[in-house]
Amino acid sequence: MDNQVPLHIAFIMDGNGRWAKKRGLSRNIGHKKGGDTFREIAKYAKDCGVKYVTFFAFSTENWKRPKEEVDALMKLFSEYLDEAESYAKEKTRLIFLGDKSIFAREMAAKMTELEKKSKQFSDFTLSLAVNYGGKDDILQAARRAAKFCRDRDLTPSDIDEKFFSGLLYTSAVPDVDLLIRPGGERRLSNFLLWQSAYAELYFTDILWPDFTKKDLDTAIEYYKGRNRRFGNIEK
């Protein structure tokens, strides 16, 4: 058994819409409540000794949603970016995973600025995946690898796993140890495909806005009981 707190936990924050519907509220209220859960769980994960957390906030596919919902989500991110300025006190490194160029210029610049300002912190790293897709991540890395081969006199065999990992949006974070998906679905939905190759998967029917610190404790306990072999045999 691994028996250790996972170094890196990734969360798929699913179920906001259903949480709201059950209460006769608009989906956007569900996202707002999901945002509150995100803040609480990120903070608690740090208290539990987890060093890296990654949250799936908006996928490359979520642009297909009604404009009103997309706008509401962008407003929530924007409010978070304003508030994140004060996170320097908490010594949290912030990273935004995904292609930022699609966002309003001011918003993209704010993300880059927060990343730069917090780069010095190494105790706790919070990554927020916005306009992120696992396939897109691998594809952009493959394009960059091809460019390296063309421009820097590298051959395709120079592109090994370590080098390629360094080209992904997650270059500054280790692979995922535990991936938590609330909301009842049992799939990865194009999240951290490369990085979750050996992640332990934890699914629960609880909807994300209802996910509590106790639920995180339960997921971590589940993880501690797993025997991780990484393709090797039992020792």
Q: Is 62 an annotated catalytic residue?
A: yes
Q: Minimum distance from CB of 134 to ligand FPP (Å)? A: 15
Contacts of 136 (CB under 8 A, 6+ apart): 60, 98, 99
Residue nearest to ligand FPP (CB): 17
Give alpha helix (H) positions in the chain: 16-22, 27-47, 67-84, 105-118, 134-151, 161-165, 213-224
Q: Minimum distance from CB of 203 to ligand FPP (Å)? A: 14
Q: Minimum distance from CB of 47 to ligand FPP (Å)? A: 19
Burial class (CB in 10 A: 0-12, 13-18, 19+), 83: exposed
Nearer Cβ to ligand FPP, position 35 or 98? 35
Nearer Cβ to ligand FPP, position 45 or 145? 45
Nearer Cβ to ligand FPP, position 88 or 206? 206
Residue 235 to residue 203: CA distance in whole angstroms: 27
Nearer Cβ to ligand FPP, position 14 or 137? 14
The contact set with ligand FPP (CB under 6 A) reads: 13-18, 31, 34-35, 38, 57, 62, 73, 76-77, 80, 128, 183
User: Which member of 2, 3, 14, 227 is catalytic?
Assistant: 14
Q: Is 14 an annotated catalytic residue?
A: yes
CA 38 to chain centre: 11
Nearer Cβ to ligand FPP, position 66 or 156? 66
Strand order through the sheet with 200-203 = 92-97, 124-132, 52-59, 8-12, 178-181, 200-203
Q: Minimum distance from CB of 161 to ligand FPP (Å)? A: 30
Q: Minimum distance from CB of 235 to ligand FPP (Å)? A: 39
User: Which member of 2, 62, 99, 210 is catalytic?
Assistant: 62
Read out DSSP for 88-149?
Answer: GGGTEEEEEES-GGGS-HHHHHHHHHHHHHHTT--SEEEEEEEEE-HHHHHHHHHHHHHHHH
| Tokens matching residue 81 | 């970016």
Q: Which residues are catalytic?
A: 14, 62
